[in-house]
Amino acid sequence: MKNHINTQIKLMAIVIFFILLTGLSAIYLMDAVQRSENTSSQQQQELLIAAFEIEEAHTQFKIQVQEWKNLLLRGRNPDDFQHYLASFNLQTTEVQQHLAKAKFAFKEDWAGKFDELSNNHKRLIETYLTAQSKTKFDDPSSVQALDNSLRGIDRPMDLLFPKLTHYLSELVKNKLIEDNHLHAATHHQHVWWITFCVSISIILMIALYWISFKKAIISK
C-alpha cells in the first residue's frame, strides 16, 4: 500500500512538472516567435528605408542636372546665375546626405558599387564646377561649348541608381523568404517539443489513474 502511495506521489510530481514545462514552453514559443518576427520586420524596414533613400538621392540628382540646364539657359543674367548655381550646389548636399543614409545596406561587392556611385557624383560635380568657372556666361558660344563638352556626362551615373535600388529590392525579397523558412523551422521545433511534453504528461496521468484504480480495487 505504501509503495502505491509513494509511486502516486512521484507520478503526480512528474505530471505537475511536465504540465508546468509545457506551459512555460508555450510561453517561450510565443515570446521567441514574437522577438524573431520583430527583428526580421525591423531589418526589412531598414532595407526598405535604404531603398527609399537611394530613390530620393536619384530624384535629387535629376533635380541637380535640371538646375545645371537652367544655369546654361538663364545664366547670362547675374542674379539668375547665382540663383541656379546655389541650387545646383545645394543638390550636391542633398544627394550625398541621402546616399549616406543608405550606405549601411550595401555589403561585399555591392559596397564597392555604392562607393563608386558616391565618389562618381563628387567627381562629376567637380567637373561641372571647374568647367563652369572657365565659361563666360555672357557669351552664347562659350556656353554652347560648355554644354557640348559635358553633354551626357551624367548618364552613366543616372543608370547606376536603378541597379542599386534593384539590389536592395532583391535583398528584401530574399530576406523575407529566409525569415519565413526560419520561422517555420523554429515553429516546427517548438511544436514538436510541446507535443512531446503533452504526450508524456498524458501517459503519466494515465499511469497515475491506473495506479489509483488498482489501489481502489485492492482496498475493496
Q: Which of 22, 1, 19 is CA-nearest to residue 205?
A: 19
State the pLDDT at residue 131: 92
State the pLDDT at residue 2: 47
Query: Taking the model in full, what pTM does it have?
Result: 0.70
Which domain does 81 fall in, by range?
2-219
**Do 124 and 157 contact (CB within 8 A), yes or no?**
yes
- Output 110-117 pairs: Cβ under 8 A, ≥24 positions apart: 110/164, 110/167, 113/160, 113/163, 113/164, 113/167, 114/164, 116/160, 117/157, 117/160, 117/161, 117/164
Which residues lie closer than 8 Å to 115 by C-beta, 6 or more apart? Answer: none
Reading the block at residue 199, the C-alpha cell is 504526450
pLDDT tens, per residue, the chain with 220 residues: 445 556 666 666 766 776 776 777 667 776 666 676 666 777 778 888 899 999 999 999 999 999 999 999 998 999 999 999 999 999 999 999 999 999 988 888 788 889 989 999 999 999 999 999 999 988 889 999 999 999 999 998 899 999 998 888 888 888 777 777 776 777 677 777 777 777 777 776 776 667 666 665 655 5
**Quick one: residue 106, left, alpha or beta (phi over 0 = left, psi -120 to 50 = alpha)?**
beta
CA dist 139 → 34, 88, 150 (Å):
67, 21, 17
Domains held by the chain: number = 1
DSSP conformation class of 77? S
Q: Which of 40, 37, 43 is CA-nearest to residue 105?
A: 43
State the pLDDT at residue 1: 47
DSSP conformation class of 104? G
